[in-house]
């Protein structure tokens, strides 16, 4: 018997605070959803599934513009996909970026610029996104690795010689019950081994989490 | 023909001539399960699942262009993004779960998500919400696509509670699986299809699943998450343990739930920790007490020593005489078996004289009917209970053949004398009278526990309070009715056996637990008190243990204390016998009718004689 303990108290408290804040915001989102769709929805594994390109807005109000201080607010989604291309995890990255005013002087050019940044982020942005993506991928891999190890252990356990006491019947001249029982047990063991092996392959695919392409979701510009 | 690539979450698609947004795609070898959300009003938000390529999915060709929007739409989108954000290692499903966010309850789910472990023992003190923690782990794994099949093994009486919690709090549509539901399912399935494969989240009784004709079908389904609730019942080497281990050893995620993992027996604890173990990977243990999580302990334990009457002492002496005669004759070779059988008789006596009288009377009638036959009582097959709802754990076991004398006439004489003494004692039982006094003076709802069903009916006749019986012989509907009656009747008394009350939440209804006799296992004692001492209990909980003096129950008390000490040192187990404050003063006040002064800390804590 081997047991272990882990102290996640601080993390759990932080997580509870985050969840409480997310609940409060989600409540607000539900209320305002009546005003119409935004084409941005919660995804199944965290993050969002956006059915449109980035949404751009101009900051209204002096205070908000002052806060932005001439910078653009970019909100990205980074994430990873499992071996079958399914989104496995996602996280949001917000960043303030200096862009010269001359680069953005008209509505059409702003859209082009945003699309260009969304398609090919500049190196400085790329570095930040890559760092956050690594965190997400690592977290996703740690979860998948634990499962993979367990699946491998299960497969090894089932591949080992059959456990349990064999069913014994009194031998008789025409009695083949023991042989039949033995054959059934062997067939069950073979099937279990096959299933366990298939599950290991699936777990390996899930553990091969690869970084997904960052997606630019929202942009707030300080001028307009 | 080349297979079209599966859609991606967020894509707009047309399926069955309607416009949908793709929410999730799960790829399998030859197909993909696609979850869609309607993109058109008035059904916007409605969800459907289709299997591609059998349901053709046509992408709506639209280049995602950047769009300049007004501040209101942008703010709304921004809120949606922030609300849905899950940082690395965070929880996905907890946000939408209908639970209060208590940080300690998130820890097991965080451990699983971060890959710290896959086999967990949730051994928090009673009433700290292990069910919620386990369900949170399940919903988190389901949300992440790590669990397609979930199996909850629980005592029969808790199945509905599990189904309700999973559905109400976590939107997991679990099915209570028993013989009846399987029969109904099987009728609609082609021959040879295992009905267990049609259930994605099953809640089943461990006693049903362990049956040799049931277990192979359950085990052939490879469950992704197996939750073993009230796992102390699978610690001992038994069919239950074998079934739980068989199922858990195939599951990538295993949760073992019990508030009482350690009963003072280290071998049993080791056996419990090995459930589902297939390698040397350690079991991740979560054991939090009330003080750990910042909930003030307000439990008062009262040891009420009850003086035996002359008739009870006589009964005790007759039982000892019979026991000595049996042991003298049977001696060493079958010593342990005989001792165990005699222990049951002692337990019956400590429960109530009436209970002992019933056992002895049955034995005498069996002796009269069987003549000199050496056979024990015939064991009954559970033919009348195909659903596995009933339990006879609160009934005495069949009288074993080792508990007999070669000289049947002498045995008859000894047992007749014992029966007479027990019948005399049962007319004015000291514990029952003390219980009646206690209940009369408390004037609030209370739960009275005893080990045997016979004692329940005897107590029911002896107390002058509306009482409801809850025992292992009640079917699901009858149990629900009994609990409903307890909840609605003012100052009602619930007379229960352990077999029936396991896992019940009675803390909203009452705060008083009376143990008519001490169970021999400290886990059981803690489980009893845990019915009312749970999160949400707003008042101080009072546990009364009635201990008979001069009948051997003080020996039981000493042994219990020793076992509790071992469990405490190993896993910080709770001490259900501890005198945490001036409870004796309160007990004395309750029994004597003097005013109850809870804030008086001046009096010393000790056992008290009432």
User: Can you give B368-401 as a three-state secondary structure string?
Assistant: HHHCCCCCCCCCCCCCCCCCCCCCCCCCCCCCCC
In a mutational test of the B interface, the residue from A21, A57, A135 whose CB has the highest number of chain B CBs within 10 Å is A57
pLDDT of residue B489: 84
Banded model confidence at residue B601, pLDDT cuts 50, 70, 90: very low
Q: For residue B488, how many other CB atoms are within 10 A of its CB?
A: 9
Co-location of B30 and B172 in the same domain: no
**How large is the average pLDDT for residues B317-330?**
86
Least confident range from A116-130, B250-264, B321-335, B449-463: namely B321-335
User: How much is the pLDDT for A1?
Assistant: 67
Distance CA B91, CA A209 (A): 18
pTM here?
A: 0.80
Q: Give yes or no for residue A142 having a pLDDT over 50.
A: yes
Residues B455 and B410 in one domain: no
Question: Can you give the pLDDT at residue B16?
Answer: 85
| Chain A residues lying within 8 Å of B104, measured CB to CB | 9, 12
The residue-averaged pLDDT of B507-518 equals 91
What pLDDT shows up at residue B586?
43
Q: Per-residue pLDDT for B110 more than 50?
A: yes
Q: Answer yes or no: is pLDDT of B394 > 90.
A: no
Which range is most confident: B149-163, B293-307, B370-384, B589-603? B149-163
Please check the confidence at residue B105 and state whether its pLDDT lies above 90.
yes
- Mean pLDDT value across chain A: 81
| Contact with chain B for residue A166, Cβ under 8 A | no
User: In chain B, which residues have their Cβ closer than 8 Å to the Cβ of A203?
Assistant: 252
Same domain, B279 and B315: no
Q: Residue B257 contacts by C-beta under 8 Å, 6 or more apart in sequence?
A: B122, B123, B130, B131, B134, B227, B228, B229, B230, B231
Question: Does residue B596 carry a pLDDT above 80?
Answer: no
Residues B118 and B159 reside in one and the same domain: yes
| Cβ of residue B83 closer than 8 Å to a chain A Cβ | yes
Beta carbons of A2 and B10 less than 8 Å apart: no
CB pairs under 8 A between A and B: 282
Distance from CA of A22 to the nearest CA of B (A): 5
- Using an 8 Å CB-CB cutoff, list chain B residues near A31: none
Q: Which of B390, B424, B458 is the last residue of a domain?
A: B424
Q: Examine the pLDDT at B553 and tell me if it is beyond 60.
A: yes
Q: Tell me: pLDDT of B545 over 90.
A: yes
CA distance B198 to chain A (A): 18
Q: Where are the beta strands (DSSP E) in B423-465?
A: 446-450
**Residue B449 pLDDT:** 94
Helices (H), B445-573: 453-462, 476-488, 498-501, 522-530, 553-571
Residue-level pLDDT at B600: 37
Structural domain includes residue B470: yes
Using a 10 angstrom Cβ sphere, with 0-12 exposed, 13-18 middle and 19 or more buried, the burial of residue B220 is: middle
Residue B604: the pLDDT is 32
CB contact under 8 A, A35 and B72: yes
**CATH code for the domain in which residue B601 is found:** 3.40.50.300
Q: From the candidates B20, B32, B35, B77, which should be mutated to test the interface with A, based on the most A CB atoms within 10 A? A: B77
Residues in chain B, total: 610
pLDDT, residue B590, reads 45
Residue B281 contacts A where some CB pair is shorter than 8 Å:
yes
Split at pLDDT 50, 70, 90, the class of A159 is confident
Q: What is the pLDDT of residue B386?
A: 63
Residue B84: strand pairing partners: none
Nearest Cα of chain A lies from the Cα of B50 at a distance, in angstroms, of 16
Contacts of A151 in chain B (CB under 8 A): 252
pLDDT tops 60 at residue B584? no
B590 or B365, greater pLDDT: B365
Span A48-52, average pLDDT = 64
Nearest chain A residue (CA) to B9: A49
Both B401 and B492 in a single domain? no
Highest mean pLDDT pick, B78-92, B135-149, B456-470? B135-149
Domain boundary among B363, B390, B424: B424
In a domain? residue B83? no
B2 part of a folded domain: no
Domains contained in chain B, number:
4
Listed by number, the residues of chain B in 117-146 with a beta carbon closer than 8 Å to a beta carbon of chain A are: 117-119, 121, 143-146
Q: Is A47 on the interface with B (CB under 8 A)?
A: yes
B29 near A CB under 8 A: no
B201: in domain:
yes
Q: Considering only B80-89, B502-511, B570-579, which range has the smallest mean pLDDT? A: B570-579
- B25 closest CB neighbour out of A2, A86, A114: A86
Contact A115 B283 (CB under 8 A): no
pLDDT of residue A62: 84
Residue B66 located in a structural domain: no
pLDDT in tens, B191-236: 889 999 999 999 999 999 999 889 999 999 999 999 999 999 898 8
3-state SS of chain B: helix, strand, coil percent to 5?
40, 15, 40
CA dist., res. B102 & res. B124, Å (int): 14
Cβ contact (<8 Å) for A147 and B119? no
Identify which of A39-43, B276-280, B366-370 has the greatest average pLDDT: B276-280
HSE, CB side, 13 Å, CA atoms: give it for residue A130.
Answer: 8
Residue A142, min C-alpha distance to chain B (Å): 5
Q: Would residue B220 count as lying in a domain? A: yes
Question: Residues 257..276 of B with a Cβ closer than 8 Å to A: which?
Answer: 269-270, 273-274
Which residues in chain A are closer than 8 Å to B146, comparing Cβ atoms? 143, 147, 206
Q: Which of A133-142, B154-163, B386-395, B526-535 has the lowest mean pLDDT?
A: B386-395
State the pLDDT at residue B295.
76
Question: Does the beta-carbon distance from A153 to B87 stay under 8 Å?
Answer: no
- B322 plus B236 within the same structural domain: no
Task: Tell whether B584 and B463 lie within a shared domain.
Answer: yes
Left, alpha or beta for A39 (phi > 0: left; psi -120 to 50: alpha)? left
Specify whether B261 is located in the same domain as B112. yes
Per-residue confidence band for A75, with pLDDT thresholds at 50, 70 and 90: very high
- Considering only CB atoms, A151 lies closest to which of B87, B110, B252, namely B252
- Measure A99 CA to nearest chain B CA, in Å: 17
Q: Looking at beta carbons, which residues of chain B come within 8 Å of A79? A: none
Q: Work out the pLDDT band at B355, boundaries 50, 70, 90.
A: very high
Q: What is the pLDDT of residue B150?
A: 96
What b-and-e string marks burial along B43-52, b requiring 16 or more CB atoms within 10 Å of the CB?
Answer: eeeeebebeb
Which tokens belong to A61? 């109000």
Tell me which residue in B106, B118, B222 faces A150 most closely, judged by beta carbons: B118
One domain, residues B181 and B114: yes
B76 at A interface, C-beta within 8 A: yes
Is there a contact between A32 and B79 if contact means CB atoms under 8 Å apart?
yes
What band does B602 get if pLDDT is binned at 50, 70 and 90?
very low
pLDDT for B607 equals: 41
- Both tokens of B457, joined, read 């009916």
| Between B340 and B428, residue with greater pLDDT | B428
A4 touches chain B (CB under 8 A): yes
Question: Quick one: pLDDT at residue B580?
Answer: 43
Statement: residue A38 has pLDDT above 60 = no
* Distance separating alpha carbons of residues A83 and B599, to the nearest angstrom: 64
| Domain carrying residue B28 | 12-59
Q: CB distance B285–A5 less than 8 Å?
A: yes
CA nearest to B116, candidates B132, B137, B145: B137
Report the residue of A107, A147, A188, A216 to disrupt the B interface, i.e. the one with the largest count of B CBs within 10 Å: A147
- Nearest chain B Cα distance for residue A3, angstroms: 5
Asked if A44 has any chain B CB less than 8 Å from its own CB, the reply is yes
Higher model confidence: residue B358 or residue A61? Answer: B358
Please tell me the distance from the alpha carbon of residue B113 to that of residue B93, in angstroms, as a whole number. Answer: 11
| Matching residue, tokens 């259930």 | B199
Q: Distance between CA atoms of B431 and B444, rounded to whole angstroms?
A: 19
Distance from the A111 Cα atom to the nearest Cα atom in chain B, whole angstroms: 6
Residue A129 has pLDDT above 80, yes or no: yes
Q: Is the pLDDT of residue B448 over 90?
A: yes
Strands (E), chain A: 3-4, 40-42, 48-50, 55-58, 71-81, 87-98, 210-211, 215-221
Across residues A112-137, what is the average pLDDT? 90
Contact A157 B249 (CB under 8 A): yes
Q: Which of B395, B424, B453 is the last residue of a domain?
A: B424
Residue B219 shares a structural domain with residue B252: yes
Looking at the fold, whether B243 and B136 belong to one and the same domain comes out as yes
| Banded pLDDT at A190 (limits 50, 70, 90) | confident
CB A167 within 8 A of CB A215: no
- Residue B594, in any domain of the structure: yes
Residues on chain A touching B143 (C-beta within 8 angstroms): 44-45
What are the chain B neighbours of A74 within 8 Å (beta carbons)?
none
| Same domain for B432 and B415 | no
Say whether pLDDT at B242 is over 70: yes
Q: Give residue-wise pLDDT tens across range B16-62.
A: 888 888 877 877 767 888 888 887 766 666 788 888 888 888 888 76
Tell me the average pLDDT across A76-84. Answer: 83
């Amino acid at each position: 018997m081997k047991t272990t303990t882990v102290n996640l108290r601080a993390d759990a408290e932080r997580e509870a605070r985050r969840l409480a804040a997310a609940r409060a915001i989600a409540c607000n989102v539900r209320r305002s959803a009546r005003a119409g769709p935004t084409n941005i929805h919660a995804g199944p594994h965290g993050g969002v599934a956006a059915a449109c390109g980035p949404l751009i807005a101009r900051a209204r109000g002096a205070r908000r513009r002052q806060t932005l201080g001439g910078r653009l607010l970019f909100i990205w989604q980074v994430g990873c996909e499992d071996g079958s291309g399914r989104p496995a995890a996602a996280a949001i990255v917000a960043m303030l970026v200096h862009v010269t005013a001359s680069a953005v002087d008209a509505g059409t050019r702003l859209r082009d610029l945003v699309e260009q940044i969304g398609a090919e982020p500049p190196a400085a942005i790329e570095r930040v996104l890559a760092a956050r993506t690594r965190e997400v991928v690592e977290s996703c891999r740690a979860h998948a690795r634990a499962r993979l190890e367990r699946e491998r252990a299960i497969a090894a356990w089932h591949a080992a010689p059959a456990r349990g006491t064999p069913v014994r019947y009194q031998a008789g001249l025409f009695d083949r019950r023991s042989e039949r029982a033995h054959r059934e047990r062997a067939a069950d063991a073979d099937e279990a081994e096959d299933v366990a092996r298939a599950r290991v392959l699936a777990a390996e695919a899930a553990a091969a989490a690869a970084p997904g392409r960052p997606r630019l979701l929202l942009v707030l510009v300080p001028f307009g | 023909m080349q297979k079209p690539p599966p859609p991606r979450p967020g894509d707009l698609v047309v399926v069955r001539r309607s416009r949908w947004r793709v929410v999730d795609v799960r790829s399998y070898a030859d197909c993909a399960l696609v979850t869609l959300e309607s993109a058109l009003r008035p059904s916007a938000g409605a969800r459907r699942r289709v299997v591609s390529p059998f349901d053709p999915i046509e992408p709506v060709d639209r280049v995602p262009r950047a769009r300049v929007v007004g501040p209101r739409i942008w703010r709304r989108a921004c809120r949606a993004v922030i609300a849905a954000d899950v940082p690395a290692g965070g929880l996905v499903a907890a946000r939408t779960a209908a639970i209060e966010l208590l940080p300690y309850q998130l820890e097991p789910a965080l451990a699983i998500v971060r890959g710290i472990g896959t086999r967990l023992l949730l051994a928090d003190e009673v009433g700290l919400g292990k069910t919620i923690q386990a369900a949170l782990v399940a919903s988190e794994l389901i949300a992440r696509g790590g669990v397609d099949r979930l199996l909850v093994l629980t005592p029969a009486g808790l199945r509905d509670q599990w189904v309700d919690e999973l559905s109400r709090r976590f939107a997991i549509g679990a099915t209570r699986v028993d013989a009846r539901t399987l029969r109904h399912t099987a009728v609609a399935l082609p021959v040879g299809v295992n009905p267990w494969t049609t259930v994605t989240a099953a809640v089943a009784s461990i006693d049903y699943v362990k049956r040799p004709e049931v277990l192979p079908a359950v085990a052939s389904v490879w469950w992704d998450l197996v939750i073993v609730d009230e796992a102390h019942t699978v610690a001992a080497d038994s069919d239950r343990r074998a079934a739980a281990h068989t199922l858990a050893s195939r599951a990538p995620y295993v949760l073992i739930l019990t508030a009482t993992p350690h009963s003072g027996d280290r071998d049993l604890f080791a056996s419990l920790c090995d459930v589902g173990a297939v390698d040397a990977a350690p079991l991740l243990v979560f054991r939090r007490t009330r003080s750990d999580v910042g909930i003030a302990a307000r439990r008062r334990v009262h040891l009420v020593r009850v003086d035996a009457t002359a008739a009870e002492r006589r009964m005790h002496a007759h039982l000892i005489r019979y026991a000595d005669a049996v042991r003298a004759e049977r001696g060493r070779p079958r010593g342990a078996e005989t001792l165990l059988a005699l222990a049951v008789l002692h337990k019956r006596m400590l429960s109530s004289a009436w209970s002992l009288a019933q056992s002895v009377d049955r034995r005498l009638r069996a002796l009269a009917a069987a003549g000199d036959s050496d056979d024990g009582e015939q064991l009954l097959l559970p033919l009348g209970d195909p659903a596995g709802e009933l339990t006879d754990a609160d009934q005495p076991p069949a009288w074993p053949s080792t508990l007999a004398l070669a000289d049947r006439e002498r045995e008859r004489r000894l047992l007749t004398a014992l029966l007479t003494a027990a019948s005399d004692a049962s007319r004015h039982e000291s514990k029952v009278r003390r219980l009646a006094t206690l209940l009369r003076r408390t004037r609030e709802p209370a739960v009275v526990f005893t080990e045997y069903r016979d004692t329940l009916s005897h107590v029911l006749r002896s107390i002058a309070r509306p009482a409801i019986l809850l025992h292992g012989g009640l079917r699901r509907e009858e149990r629900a009715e009994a609990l409903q009656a307890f909840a609605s009747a003012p100052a009602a008394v619930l007379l229960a056996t352990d077999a029936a009350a396991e896992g019940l939440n009675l803390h909203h209804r009452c705060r008083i637990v009376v143990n008519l006799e001490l169970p021999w296992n400290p886990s059981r004692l803690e489980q009893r008190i845990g019915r009312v001492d749970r999160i949400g209990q707003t008042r101080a909980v009072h546990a009364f243990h009635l201990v008979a003096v001069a009948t051997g129950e003080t020996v039981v008390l000493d042994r219990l204390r020793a076992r509790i000490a071992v469990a405490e040192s190993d896993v910080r187990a709770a001490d259900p016998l501890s005198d945490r404050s001036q409870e004796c003063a309160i007990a004395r006040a309750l029994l004597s009718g003097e005013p109850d002064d809870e804030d008086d800390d001046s009096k010393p804590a000790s056992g008290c004689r009432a």
